[in-house]
Amino acid sequence: MAICVSVCEFSQDGKEYEKTETTCNDSLGNPDGDCFVNAFEKCESASIKQSSSTVEGDPVYHYATIIPDDSCNIHYKLDISRDGVKGVFVGNIETTCTDVQIIGTQMSLQCKDEE
């Protein structure tokens, strides 16, 4: 079951409107890929977070957020700031993704190559 979080947005006339973004993680924080894919198919605002560990046990976080505009892209961020052995990467890696699918039990993002 997804948790919905209310976010407030202001219009140009200064009035406040409630906008709902779905957080596609269950109450224990586990990601729900089906929730995220369903939101993407409807181009609805949603986000999902996945955490994993490096071989050394350092945490790595994956964030994906659907941007509900005409292009309906996904903003993806890989946060490796807590990885003690970063290699050539430092901080965060961010890109834009254009599709998401469930393949078996895995959620797969199709992202643009950015330089």
- Alpha-carbon distance of 4 to 10, in angstroms, equals 19
Give me the pLDDT at residue 85, please: 76
Would you write out the chain's pLDDT as a tens digit for each of its 115 residues? 333 333 334 444 544 444 567 899 988 889 999 999 999 999 999 999 999 888 888 888 999 999 999 899 999 999 988 887 766 666 788 999 999 999 988 999 999 875 4
- Tell me the C-alpha distance between 65 and 40, whole Å: 10
**Closest C-alpha among 21, 46, 41 to residue 100:** 41
Q: Are strands 16-23 and 46-53 parallel, antiparallel or unpaired?
A: parallel
Q: What are phi and psi of 31, to 5 degrees?
A: -70, 145
Which of helix, strand or coil describes residue 11?
coil
d(CA 84, CA 57): 9
